[in-house]
Amino acid sequence: MNKAEKTNPSQPRKARDVQHWDMETDIAIVGFGGAGGCAAIEAADAGSSVTIFELASASGGSTAMSSAEIYMGGSGGTRVQKACGFDDSTEDMVTYMTMAAGPQADEAKIRNYCESSTAHFQWLVDIGVPFKDSFHEERAIMCLTDDGLLYTGSEKAYPFAQQAKPCPRGHNLYIEGDNGGPLFMKIVTENVEKREAISVEYETRALCLIEDDDGSVVGIVIRKNQQELNVRARQGVILCAGGFVMNEEMIAKYAPLLSRGNSPIGNPGDTGTGILMGMSVGGAAINMHEGFISLPYYPPASMTCGILVNDKGQRFINEDVYHGRMGAYLLAQQSERFYYVLTIDQYSDYEKVSFMGAQVAGTGETVEELEAELELRKGSLQHTIELYNEDCEAGEDTLQHKAAQWLEKLEPPLVALDVTPGRGAFIPYFTLGGLDTLPSGEVVDPQRRSIPGLYAAGRTACGVVRRAEGYSSGMSVGDATFSGRMAGRAAAAAQRNSQ
Ligand SMILES: Cc1cc2nc3c(=O)[nH]c(=O)nc-3n(C[C@H](O)[C@H](O)[C@H](O)COP(=O)(O)OP(=O)(O)OC[C@H]3O[C@@H](n4cnc5c(N)ncnc54)[C@H](O)[C@@H]3O)c2cc1C
C-alpha cells in the first residue's frame, strides 16, 4: 500500500466506497478522556446508543493526568462558593472570561458556559464528583489539601480585578494531594460502565471519518485487532481526541512559539488526529497558534512579593498574576535573560516546595553587587528597585499595579533566580487551538456553517479558553467536560440517519 492510499485522518472515506458496515451505533465518540466520557453520559441519558473508541487500554487521557481543578461559578455561586461565603455573579464571570480570552473570545460560548456553570457543578455532583465546602486561602498551582475552592487565575490581579469583582472559581476534588484527575476519571468511567446504552472499545484507534456525498459525516473508520472496520454512526460522530501537543510536526507548523517552552504536557494520544479529521471534511481549525504555557513561579506564595526583570533590569508584569500569564508575558519579551529577584525571606522554602526548578543566578549584600553579578547594565536594577521600594512604601505599585498585599520592600541581601527559557526552569505547555464549534458542539466550516453529523469537544475543539495570558486552572477540564455534555446532548437530538 503506498502512502497516499493509507487510511489517515486527513483523508475521509466516502460512504459510497463502504462495502459493509462492521458496526453500528447512534453516536460514535472518539476518545475517552473528560470530554468523551461526559459526552457519552449525556447522550446516553438523552436516549441514544453510544460507542466510545479509545486508543489506550483504559480511559483517562490528559484529564486523568491533570489536577482536575474545574472552573465554575456565576448565578450567585455554586454550593461550595456559597458555603465559603462567596456570592458570584454571572456577569463578573463573563467579564473575567472574556478579558481572559482577549481578542479571540467567543462571546456566545463564554456566555453559555457561565450561565450554565452552577448547573454543570450540580451535574458533576449528581454523577458522584465530591467537593468539600471549604476554602483554600494560600496561593497554589494545585491544591494539595482536600479543600474544595481556591483562586486559580488572575481574578484578584490587575487588570482583571479592576473590571470584574474577584471571586474564586477553581473547584478542587475532595481528595488529598494532587490526585483529582485520577479520581475524576474513575467516577466518569464508573458512570459510563453502568449505562447499558454505552459501550467502549479500548485499544481501538479512530483512523478517519466517513462522509456522504452531500458532506454529512455518517461514521468513522477504526483499527482494532489490526483490522480496519467501518462504523456507521446514525446520529453523528463526536471528536474528543484531545489536542496536538505531542505532534512535533503540527507544533512546528501551527504553534511554533509554544516550543519555546521545554515540557509538552499531556498524554501520548495528543497528536491532533481529531482536529485533522475535522479539517478533512471542511471543519475550520482556529486559534491554532495558541496554548497554555507557564512559568510556575509559585509556590511558595511569598515569591509573589519578588520581582521579575528582563535583561535591562526592568519589570514588565505585575507578579501577582496566574503563572500562565507570567509565562506568556515572559516569552513575548525581547530579552535574552530573565531573573526573579527576591529577599531571603521571600525565597523562604523555595527549594522544598517549588515546581519551577530555576537555579540561583546570583546573590548580593547590596543591589549594586547583585546587579554586577547578573551582568546587568550598571544602575538598571538599582533604579528598578529604588522605584519599586518607593511604591511599596506608598502602598501602590504605580508601574505594574501589583496588589498592595504583595508589596514588600526588597531589602538586601537579595537573591536572583535564573528563569531564562532553556536554562533549567520548567516551562510546560499544551495547545489551545482546535476545531471551531458552536456552543452546541457542532463543528463549523470557515463560513460558520455546521457540518452535518460532526461534533467536537474538549481540546479537539477551540473552547472558551483561548490563550495563556488569560488561562486559569480549571478552565480546560471545565471546558472539556461542559463542551462534551453540550455535544452529547446536541448529537442525541439529531435525526437518525438509517440509509
Ligand atoms: C499535568 C497536567 C495537569 C493539568 N491540570 C489541569 C487542571 O487542574 N485543570 C484544568 O482545567 N486543566 C488541566 N490540565 C489540562 C486538561 O487536563 C486537559 O486540557 C483536558 O483534560 C483535556 O480533556 P479532553 O477530554 O479534551 O482530552 P483527554 O482527556 O486528553 O482525552 C482524549 C482521549 O482521546 C484519545 N485519543 C486521541 N486520539 C485518538 C484516536 N485517533 N482514536 C481513539 N482515541 C484517541 C486519547 O488516548 C485520550 O484518552 C492539565 C493537563 C496536564 C497534562
Instruction: Set out the domains of the chain in order of their start, with CATH numbers.
Output: 13-65+181-292+428-492 (3.50.50.60), 70-177 (no CATH), 301-418 (3.90.700.10)
With the most atoms of ligand 1 within 8 angstroms of its CB, the residue from 172, 222, 270, 476 to mutate is: 476
**Residue in 66, 69, 117, 131 to alter for ligand 1 test, most ligand atoms within 8 A of Cβ:** 66
- Please, is 310 exposed, middle or buried when counting C-beta atoms within 10 Å of its C-beta (0-12, 13-18, 19+)? buried
Q: How far away, in angstroms, is 270 Cα from ligand 1 center? A: 8
Q: Ligand 1: does its nearest atom lie under 6 Å from the Cβ of 222?
A: no
User: For position 499, what pLDDT does the model report?
Assistant: 59
Measured in angstroms, how far is the CA atom of residue 466 from the centroid of ligand 1? 16
Distances (CA, A) of 290 to 175, 451, 483: 32, 24, 19
Q: Quick one: which of 470, 469, 458 has its CA closest to 433? A: 458
Q: Is 30 in the pocket of ligand 1 (CB under 6 A)?
A: yes
Q: pLDDT tens for residues 102-115?
A: 999 999 999 999 99
- CA–centroid distance, 46 to ligand 1, in Å, is 25
Joined together, the cell numbers standing for residue 119 give: 448547573
Give the Å distance between the CA of 493 and the centre of ligand 1. 26
Secondary structure in 3-state letters for the chain: CCCCCCCCCCCCEEHHHCCCCCEEEEEEEECCCHHHHHHHHHHHHCCCCEEEECCCCCCCHHHHHCCCCEECCCCCCCHHHHHCCCCCCHHHHHHHHHHHHHHHCCHHHHHHHHHCHHHHHHHHHHCCCCCCCCECCCCCCCCCCCCCEECCCCCCCCCHHHHCCCCCCEECCCCCCCCHHHHHHHHHHHHHHCCCCEEEECCEEEEEEEECCCCCEEEEEEEECCEEEEEEEEEEEEECCCCCCCCHHHHHHHCHHHHHCCEECCCCCCCCHHHHHHHHCCCCEECCCCEEECCCCCCCHHHHHCEEECCCCCECCCCCCCHHHHHHHHHHCCCCCCEEEEEHHHHCCHHHHCCCCCEEEEEECCHHHHHHHCCCCCCHHHHHHHHHHHHHHHCCCCCCCCCHHHCCCCCCCEEEEECCCCCCCCCEEEECCEECECCCCEEECCCCCEEEEEEECHHHECCCCCCHHHCCCCHHHHHHHHHHHHHHHHHHCCCCCCC
* Percent of residues, the chain, with pLDDT higher than 90: 96
Within 10 A of 404 (CB to CB), how many other CB atoms are there?
Answer: 12
Grid cell locating 108:
456566545
C-alpha cell at 87: 456570592
In the reported structure, the alpha carbon of residue 424 is separated from the centroid of ligand 1 by a whole-number distance in angstroms of 26
CA of 34 to the centre of ligand 1 (A): 7
Per-residue confidence (pLDDT) for residue 5, from 0 to 100:
65
Report which ligand 1 atom has the smallest distance to the Cα of 277. Answer: 41
Strands 339-343 and 307-309: antiparallel
CB contact set of 215 (below 8 Å; sequence gap of 6+)? 281, 282, 451, 452
Q: How far does the centroid of ligand 1 lie from the alpha carbon of residue 308, in Å?
A: 31
| Pocket test residue of 192, 477, 482, 486 for ligand 1, highest count of atoms within 8 A of CB | 477
User: Ligand 1 atom closest to Cα of 180?
Assistant: 8
**CA dist 133 → 37, 72, 82, 187 (Å):** 26, 14, 9, 19
Per-residue model confidence (pLDDT) at position 441? 98
Please tell me if the CB atom of residue 247 comes closer than 6 angstroms to any atom of ligand 1.
no
Nearest residue by C-alpha to atom 13 in ligand 1: 66
pLDDT digits (tens, 9 = 90+) for 276-317: 999 999 999 999 999 999 999 999 999 999 999 999 999 999
Ligand 1 pocket check for 241: Cβ under 6 Å = yes
Cβ 294 under 6 angstroms from ligand 1: no
Instruction: Assess whether the C-beta atom of 32 lies below 6 angstroms from ligand 1.
Output: yes
Going from the Cα of 20 to the center of ligand 1, the distance in angstroms, rounded, reads 33
Residue 273 CA to ligand 1 centre (angstroms) = 13
- Closest residue by Cα to atom 6, ligand 1, is 66
The closest residue, in CA terms, to atom 17 on ligand 1 is 63
Q: Is 34 in the pocket of ligand 1 (CB under 6 A)?
A: yes
CB 434 less than 6 A from any atom of ligand 1? no
Ligand 1 in contact with 240 (CB < 6 A)? Answer: yes
pLDDT tens for the 499 residues of the chain, in order: 444 468 999 999 999 999 999 999 999 999 999 999 999 999 999 999 999 999 999 999 999 999 999 999 999 999 999 999 999 999 999 999 999 999 999 999 999 999 999 999 999 999 999 999 999 999 988 899 999 999 999 999 999 999 999 999 999 999 999 999 999 999 999 999 999 999 999 999 999 999 999 999 999 999 999 999 999 999 999 999 999 999 999 999 999 999 889 899 999 999 999 999 999 999 999 999 999 999 999 999 999 999 999 999 999 999 999 999 999 999 999 999 999 999 999 998 999 999 899 999 999 999 999 999 999 999 999 999 999 999 999 999 999 999 999 999 999 999 999 999 999 899 999 999 999 999 999 999 999 999 999 999 999 999 999 999 999 999 999 999 999 999 999 999 999 986 5
Tell me, using a 6 A CB cutoff, whether residue 35 lines ligand 1: yes
Peptide bond into 413 cis (omega under 30): yes
240 Cα to the center of ligand 1, angstroms:
9
Q: What is the mean pLDDT of the chain?
A: 96
Distance 242 CA to ligand 1 centre (A): 5
CA of residue 156 to ligand 1 center, whole Å: 28
- This prediction's pTM: 0.97
126 C-beta neighbours (distance < 10 Å), count = 9
Nearest atom of ligand 1 to the alpha carbon of 222: 42
| 432 Cβ inside 6 Å of ligand 1 | no
**For the segment 399-430, what is each residue's pLDDT rounded down to a tens digit?**
999 999 999 999 999 999 999 999 989 999 99
pLDDT reported for residue 267:
97
